[in-house]
A and B are shown apart, each in its own frame.
Chain A
């Protein structure tokens, strides 16, 4: 029996491997993953937003805004430096530097000290001196906003003419044209209205900072009008609490850690779903070809229907595993090519799936899932006479299988293990997906074993019934598989075929 099963499986594999669609699909995933970041980089606008301020009041508000945005940029750089240093244990570069201290929200003094020490360039130089091999270099982010002088033609204009000229600038293709223009009137602060002209919807962070700076300036001037000296007024304005910050090291936060630990299990679940849908449709195509080409009788003269069915399942499983091996190989090559950046990320992700028991569980649920769902595809293939007929039956079946999986994966990404996740774990059709996806979050051993046993029993029963359906359907060409007929075939014994 095994020889015939292997022969059928080998033929199935050869047939699928001869399909152009197989090779296209096999390559699409790695290519998409490789192109994704590149396209993402090219599509995302990493250029700073250009801001021009027309300050007719000469009140120094423009300078105050520039200072504030520069301070925010430096604070952001300090935070990123701190995360990098903490992640790779690089504090020895300069233990006294603010970026080597991760216990607080950086104040104006910290930023001043950072600037005094030479800013980000000096920090990188110090870090480079102690950076071990394999640890990536620190790459500072671009500032979000850059301030530039307002075009002379704009400064002279008033009212509607000003707004029209600003719009013309936004519409122009000039590389240095401002994207945001601020107009501060001659009577500011007596007339506190500020004009904000923007090429796009302004970011709320920009408006918030603008409001903070201008509010502070107005209040300082009001305090001065009430007899409080300028220095005292500024001191009052700059009074701020010292916020101590305690966060887990990068990757160790509960939510972050959960996500990292769930990356591989979720990916396994997705891959199982994807490869099943793909190889399932190819198997279906093969079954339909056998029926429509009327070669089933020749085959059944040599082998039993069960051998044909098991051979098809084995062939589909082999193709699915081959696809996964290729994708895993591509991931390995990518990890090697990026000199450890990816592997550094993958290492904690692999942690929950690296024990022999879990690896065995992954293999078991993966293969069981494959057999369980592929059998449905094979059964559909045995019942229909054409691909168009197959599509009609396939769509509701696919929706029935895939929709709960989509909800399940979303819930696990959100870190929820609610009733739906628990229920789907115990429904054999979705058990493999649920268990694989939950491995990162941690799943009780009894649930793992119990759901695994239930799945094995369900698959055994499924194979018995689908075997009957397969046998009874093979030679019944030209009969529409109505529900009544399907149920009759599920009950059919071999002698009644």
Chain B
């Protein structure tokens, strides 16, 4: 396995009596898209701020590109904050060049990369327009460009999809995939589970600053038992691995519809195999996996704001 771009070990952050991040550990490899999921106040933004060295942890270790967080790594990091804003009196291209320069780029490279990004975002003709004269969507694209201008090795996006229209959400998804394809580690926090399902290689679910789950999408789906709808001439409630099976409606020609809930970690395929080997007649077998949204609500839901 390649060296992680970001590695967090036993991270703790307290604000007075409030425990914002509680013994958090995870790592993100190059080219990986890592979803950082959690309710409001779960500690996502606090963790990202600690990775950026904007605030310091109470305890624990963070390793960014092999060393402790420091502004000297800004050249390799791209960051899109949750709360967005730019200098209203500055032009789009000057804004991108300014942030590029702050990340150690020379003016010419920053300008050239900035123009390339603006062209990609269909904003090349507005390069010299002041941010204050742009629509909110345009300004958001310029801000995204400021985080991408240095072609970062670690791209961190805090709630990047919030406030974006569907077109810009698609554009952002493309940019995340593009960054991952060129080898950047991408970590983003979100409330929108569809984006996480579509994009993430791995996910981390936070609850009150504590990690509830970390793994792939397949692994996360195992967090809730699978369910299925089957039509059989036999009784399915007594099958091994079945937590419950309720008949639905009246039988027709001996065929009964069943709503079946499996035990935790039991694969529907193994129950199907059992039916086959034991001669239980089936004419319908519809597996239903728990959605990420259901899992999120199950693991994280119902939390209030903590920070």
Contact = CB atoms under 8 A, between A and B. Distances in A.
A301 B64 CA distance: 13
Interface string B92-132: 00000011011100000000000000000000000000000
Contacts of B58: 495
B146 interface: yes
Nearest to B84: A294
A497 interface: yes
Contact of A475 (B54, B80, B101): B54
Contact of B79 (A289, A292, A301, A304): A301
Interface string B11-50: 0000000000000000000000000000000000000010
A294 B85 contact: yes
Interface string A17-28: 010000000000
Interface string B55-83: 11110000000000001001001011101
A304 B56 CA distance: 13
A294 B99 CA distance: 15
Contacts of A495: 56-58
Nearest to B83: A294
A15 B89 contact: yes
Interface string B173-201: 00000000000000000000000000000
Given A15-B89, A293-B85, A293-B87, A298 B79 contact: yes
B5 to A, nearest CB: 16
Given A293-B85, A293-B86, A7 B101 contact: yes
A7 to B, nearest CB: 5
A18 B89 contact: yes
A302 B101 CA distance: 10
Interface string B249-275: 000000000000000000000000000
A418 interface: no
B88 A299 contact: no
A17 to B, nearest CB: 11
Nearest to B130: A18
Contacts of A289: 87-88
In the complex, which of the residues B52, B57, B81, B143 has the most CB atoms of chain A within 10 Å of its own CB atom? Answer: B81
Main secondary structure of the interface of B (DSSP, over half): loop
A135 interface: no
A302 B87 contact: no
Interface residues of A, number: 25
A300 B57 CA distance: 16
A126 B98 CA distance: 69
B88 A293 contact: yes
B52 to A, nearest CB: 5
A292 B77 CA distance: 24
Contacts of A497: 55-56
A416 interface: no
A307 B87 CA distance: 18
B87 A298 contact: no
A297 B71 contact: no
Interface in A294-337: 294-295, 297-304, 307
A494 interface: yes
A103 B146 CA distance: 79
A4 interface: yes
Nearest to A292: B85
Contacts of B56: 494-497
A4 B143 CA distance: 19
Contacts of A18: 89
In the complex, which of the residues B54, B83, B90 has the most CB atoms of chain A within 10 Å of its own CB atom? Answer: B54
A7 B99 CA distance: 10
Contacts of A293: 85-88
A15 B54 contact: no
A290 B56 CA distance: 22
A300 B74 contact: no
Contact of A303 (B74, B80, B83, B90): B74
A303 B88 contact: no
A300 B52 contact: yes
Nearest to B143: A298
A11 interface: yes
B144 to A, nearest CB: 11
B54 A301 contact: yes
Nearest to B56: A495
Contacts of A307: 71
Nearest to A4: B102
A301 B54 CA distance: 7
Contacts of B88: 289, 293
Interface in A18-60: 18
B81 A298 contact: yes
Contact of B85 (A11, A295, A303, A304): A295
Contacts of A4: 71, 102
9 contacts: A11-B90, A297-B79, A298-B84, A298-B99, A299-B102, A301-B74, A302-B102, A495-B56, A496-B56
Given A15-B87, A293-B85, A301-B52, 4 more contacts: A293-B86, A302-B74, A302-B99, A497-B56
Interface of B: 49, 52, 54-58, 71, 74, 77, 79-81, 83-90, 98-99, 101-103, 143, 146-147
Q: Which 10 residue pairs are nearest across A and B when measured between Cβ atoms?
A: A293-B85, A294-B85, A297-B81, A302-B102, A294-B83, A495-B56, A301-B79, A295-B85, A302-B74, A300-B54
